[in-house]
Chains A and B, each alone.
Chain A
Amino acid sequence: MTLDLTPADLITDDWRVHGSIYTSPEVFAREQRALFHGPWLYVAHESEIAHPGDYKTTFAGTQPVIVTRGADDGEIRVLLNRCRHRGASVCQDESGNANYFRCPYHGWTYRNSGELRGITYDAAYGDIDRSTLGLIRLPRVDSYAGFVFASFAQDGPSLVEYLGNAAPYLEIVSQQGPQGIRLSAGSHRLTYNANWKLQIENTIDNYHFGFVHKSFLDVLADRIGQAPPIMQNVMNNPEWRTIDLGNGHSVHEFGDPRTGNNQGQLGDLPFNLIVFPNLCFVGAQLRHVLPKKADRTEVRLYPIMHEGVPDEDNAAILRVHEGFYGPAGMGGADDIEVAFDRVSDGLAADEHDWLIMARGMDNEQPGENGILIGHAADELPQRAFYRQWKALMA
């Protein structure tokens, strides 16, 4: 389908959102330039590349990248995972330790800081300028509270400016353990045939919980002998609230942002947090949403391990995480079926192609530093996301 609306027309002032936002390859391609090729993008946690020579592979938008820690200088760099010779990906493993990378196609060899170190049977290339043939580096890399971000843009807001009101929440996440956190448990992945933004919206949508996750709540009620309080809190607890943090970021607080708890055996983070465009925190996990195509998404879920606690405490975090979000958990599969697959199925009916994202739009209350505060079940976080989306796509 060829899109006959400009991106600015895809979201109305009364918060109707056009279905093509989720289905159009044209919109997807434009997002890759506007959202994923300039703004800061999360790529790693420092604990994943703690030692010189450590690396991990991931994606900046749809582009494969290697996040490395320098062999001699310890500096963190982000390199495109693409051999300068004939385009093969240079690193295949999700993580490893290597001070030099050798492309598996023709053996071109690079330092892990990117410089081309050598070419096999190089005489045939004459006086080729090797100094210009290193792996491409993303021009800006910075960390905040241990979270590593990179940008394709040479210039622009600093990472701290970009994070803005979301920064204090990242600090709180980094302080979950008495000596910090680490992502040493690795990740597990889910993939689905629908748009990446559905996962972002769903991560911070409390409105759906009593419906999509009713079976989980029923099991929990059987275990504890009464209905778990999570939906009562969502609907009636004034300390549970949603906040538009600006720059597309949003949070849902379960009361005090340092000590709150969802009380739902979902993990102990005191809030759900979205860092625009594709970094999420929910339950006890960091969630990295990787767009692949307009109708294809990969999500990597990293349980957050606590530093300075006994192993059995971290094992308990993993068991709770698995219970809801794991491949055999009681929650994640329901989200995939209802919030992603069924929405994707329904969007095929495009005769009247508008969704409604207006819940609570007339009750947004301004707070300090330009934030907007809403009810816990409002669609305020989704609007926070799409305000930034619309500004960047215009």
Chain B
Amino acid sequence: MQARNANGNGNGPRLSLSSEFGSVTVEVDHQANGPRLRIENVQNGRVVFLDPLEVASLTWLTHDRLGPFLDPSQTGWSSDEGASG
């Protein structure tokens, strides 16, 4: 059994990162069959879970290759969708 943290959900400590452009919380999630990194966008509540292989693969990223995810028209502000912040 996982030890309960302050959130009462058995996850690891929750870390917060904020800048003038973004605000997220990061924690290790233990609710699934294996550990996952849980990232929450504080500004809109959107959540993504990444498994260890996915996180390991991120270390190959250049910031340039991350660019498509930073294009607001492809991540939350698409002309085909409503505003999601």
Contact = CB atoms under 8 A, between A and B. Distances in A.
Nearest to B64: A72
A72 B21 contact: no
A71 interface: yes
6 contacts: A91-B20, A111-B63, A111-B67, A117-B70, A118-B71, A118-B73
Interface of B: 19-22, 62-64, 66-67, 70-74, 77-80
Contacts of A117: 67, 70-71
Contacts of A122: 73, 79
B72 A118 contact: yes
Interface stretch (A4-12, A93-101, A231-239, A355-363): A93-101
Contacts, number: 61
A100 to B, nearest CB: 5
Contacts of B67: 100, 111, 117
Interface of A: 52-53, 71-72, 91-93, 96-102, 107-109, 111, 117-124
B79 A102 contact: no
Given A72-B63, A121-B79, A123-B79, A100 B21 contact: yes
A120 B70 CA distance: 11
Contact of B70 (A72, A92, A109): A109
A118 B74 contact: yes
Given A72-B63, A108-B72, A120-B72, 10 more contacts: A71-B64, A91-B20, A99-B66, A100-B67, A101-B21, A117-B70, A118-B73, A120-B77, A121-B79, A122-B79
Contacts of B22: 102
B50 to A, nearest CB: 19
Contacts of B78: 121
Contacts of A102: 21-22, 72
A119 B72 contact: yes
Contacts of A123: 73, 79-80
Contacts of B64: 71-72, 111
Contacts of A100: 21, 63, 67, 70
B62 A92 contact: no
Contact of B79 (A96, A97, A124): A124
B70 A118 contact: yes
Given A71-B64, A72-B62, A99-B63, A120 B73 contact: yes
A98 B72 contact: no
A101 B21 CA distance: 7
A98 B21 contact: yes
B55 to A, nearest CB: 18
A54 to B, nearest CB: 12
Contacts of A99: 63, 66
A93 B77 contact: no
Please name the 7 residue pairs, one residue from A and one from B, whose CB atoms are nearest each other, closest first: A118-B71, A123-B79, A71-B63, A120-B77, A122-B73, A99-B63, A120-B72
Nearest to B70: A100
Contacts of A121: 73, 77-79
Most chain A C-beta atoms within 10 Å of own C-beta, residue among B19, B62, B63, B67: B63
A325 to B, nearest CB: 29
A109 B72 contact: yes
B41 to A, nearest CB: 13
Contacts of B63: 52-53, 71-72, 99-100, 111
A122 B20 CA distance: 23
Most chain A C-beta atoms within 10 Å of own C-beta, residue among B70, B72, B80: B72
